[in-house]
A = this chain, B = another copy of it.
């Protein structure tokens, strides 16, 4: 291998090891750290981030990339060598374009924003949060300008999560989705009482839920020799190479919370476990994009986990585990219950159908904030108006409205679209997988997932971060993100459940 490439990878590996160490510190913070460790942990994380940034942006790295690029241009762009140079360049540019001072100020503003957000939520008073959010919007605009873009300022932010994506593409996709979804949601909303799910609340022993969740994770292919599951307040997944992938879950009165949360994180985990071990610590050791990552979690959570086929196999087991709650509930009733639609105010509690409407609103508002078409002071009212338009109801307070999500408080603008993109891609990939492996539906009914997982491994996981999300989806399905299969899937599913 090219000596300069070796050296670049060596340097990059240190950046990556520091990031992994930070990832473990964060995992620990959310799962095990005693309260007294918080202050010092924040300092440790700041040091690791600083050292990683220093090494990623070192003059040596820049020099190596300059020297490697002509050589890499002569290689097959799909090769490991060409890919690591390409991705390292993207990360190097991203890290060097933002002046250190701006980045430090943004980081401080994000900490202050998060603290103010938590306080404002507690007090139910948006005005506590507003000045910090204003500052964050301003600094985010400066970051976007520093990062650069071709069409629109928001592109620069979008690219942090979806490299190569354009705002105009997201807008077109969301418009198409909105046109299909809104009438469907309204039709279902009128028949909301056709489906009951009260028996899914309360009376489910946590230990049994945990064991059943582990049972499902093993069934779908999550390898506990190369991963584990813990509890945390907010479920998440983090991978340290494919050999150590960690999921978290939580338990709430609603049975579906842990059940589908576990399958969701399990889907993220399968992706991480499917990235080739030899990619670990290199620029291509991570997933292609947030949207593609979300496609994997949504696939296992919704397309598999909320399907009748899946429960045809697993429902008897679940019934046997909770006979006093589910003994008298038949499969169809259970299936309808776990897919019950109810337009609600809170994104993270939203059902499969209304979920995207929450994203449309956030995308619309953050786009306006970043492009200067909306003032922070006007945000709460814009939120209420948007909710009324999309879901027919508005929150009574800002805690259940504009302050419900943590993202903006930490300056994570540009992230939300990935959620909906993930939903769209999940169906596009699932349909392609079934087209090429027609046995998949029957396998799912038998509780066998090797066919589906194998296809995802082959088409998505094994490429790690070599390609952008769009490149990967085109390679896998022959076309870019397409709303049609997703809308078709939702229509068929919910028309049947609600007898439309």
Known: A240-B40, A243-B36, A244-B37. A24 touches B17 (CB 8 A): no
Q: Chain B nearest CB: distance from A23 CB in Å? A: 10
Given A13-B43, A47-B13: A240 in contact with B37 (beta carbons within 8 A): yes
**Cβ B24 vs Cβ A227 within 8 A:** no
A230: which B residues are within 8 A, CB to CB? 32
Complex: how many Å from CA A167 to CA B36?
A: 40
When distances are taken between beta carbons in the complex, the residues of chain B under 8 Å from A36 are 223, 225-227, 242-244
Q: Residue on B with the closest CB to A224?
A: B34
Q: How far is the CB of A47 from chain B (nearest CB, A)?
A: 4
Q: In the complex, are the beta carbons of A28 and B17 less than 8 A apart?
A: no
Instruction: Please give the distance in Å from A227's CB to the nearest CB on chain B.
Output: 6
Contact of A48 among B13, B17, B228, B281 (CB under 8 A): B17
Contact with B along A405-435 (1 / 0, CB 8 A): 0000000000000000000000000000000
- The one of B32, B38, B51, B227 that contacts A228, using a Cβ cutoff of 8 Å: B32
List CB contacts (< 8 Å) of A223-277 with chain B. Answer: 223-228, 230, 240-244
A22 to B44, CA, bound (A): 11
A50 to B21, CA, bound (A): 14
Distance A244 CA – B39 CA, assembled complex (angstroms): 10
Q: How far is the CA of A34 from the CA of B224 in the complex (A)?
A: 7
Q: Is the CB of A24 within 8 A of B28?
A: yes
Mask, A12-50, CB within 8 Å of B = 1, is 011001101110110010001111111111011001101
Kindly identify which residue among B18, B21, B35, B43 contacts A281, using a CB–CB cutoff of 8 Å: B43
Give the number of residues in A that approach B within 8 Å (Cβ atoms): 40
CB <8 Å contact, B228 and A34: yes
List chain B residues, Cβ under 8 A from A48: 17-18, 21
Complex: chain B residue closest to A46, CB-CB: B17
Contact B226 A34 (CB under 8 A): yes
Are A40 and B227 closer than 8 Å at their CB atoms?
A: no
A241 touches B37 (CB 8 A): yes
A14 and B47 contact, Cβ closer than 8 Å, known pairs A24-B25, A39-B243: yes
Contacts of A51 in B (CB 8 A): 14, 18, 51
Q: Are B244 and A17 in contact (CB under 8 A)?
A: no
**A34 in contact with B281 given A17-B47, A44-B20 (CB within 8 Å):** no
Q: A40 touching B225 by the CB < 8 A rule? A: no
A280 at the interface (CB under 8 A from B): yes
Known pairs A14-B47, A43-B13; A225 contacts B35 (CB<8 A): yes
Q: Say yes or no: B37 contacts A17, CB within 8 Å.
A: no
In the bound complex, residues from chain B placing their C-beta under 8 Å from that of A41 are: 240, 244
Q: How many whole Å from A10's CB to the nearest CB in chain B?
A: 10
Q: How far is the CA of A40 from the CA of B21 in the complex (A)?
A: 11
Residues of B contacting A223 in the complex (Cβ-Cβ under 8 angstroms): 36
State A244–B40 Cα separation when bound (angstroms).
Answer: 9
**Assembled-state Cα–Cα distance A478/B411 (Å):** 58
- Bound state CA distance, A44 and B223, in angstroms? 22
The answer, among B14, B40, B241, for a CB contact under 8 Å with A40, is: B241
Least Cβ–Cβ distance between A285 and chain B, in angstroms:
10
- Chain B positions within 8 Å of A13 at CB level: 43, 47
B281 x A243 contact (CB < 8 A) = no
By the criterion CB–CB under 8 Å, are B37 and A243 in contact?
A: yes
- A35 to B39: give the CA distance in the assembly, Å: 31
Cα(A40)–Cα(B242), bound, Å: 10
> Are B35's CB and A20's CB within 8 A?
no
Q: Among residues 370 to 402 in chain A, which have CB atoms less than 8 Å away from a CB atom of chain B?
A: none
Q: How far is the CA of A243 from the CA of B40 in the complex (A)?
A: 8
Min CB gap A492→B, angstroms: 39
Check A280–B40 contact: CB distance below 8 A: yes
Shortest distance from the beta carbon of A407 to any chain B beta carbon, whole Å:
27
Nearest residue in B to A223 (C-beta to C-beta)? Answer: B36
A44 touches which one: B21, B39, B226, B228 (CB < 8 A)?
B21
A20-B40, A34-B226, A39-B243 given. 15 additional CB < 8 A pairs? A14-B50, A17-B43, A18-B47, A18-B48, A20-B44, A21-B24, A21-B25, A34-B228, A35-B226, A36-B223, A36-B225, A37-B241, A40-B243, A40-B281, A51-B51
The 6 closest A-B CB pairs, nearest first, are A37-B244, A36-B243, A36-B226, A17-B47, A40-B241, A17-B44
Q: List 6 A-B contacts (CB under 8 A).
A: A14-B47, A20-B40, A21-B22, A34-B226, A37-B241, A51-B51
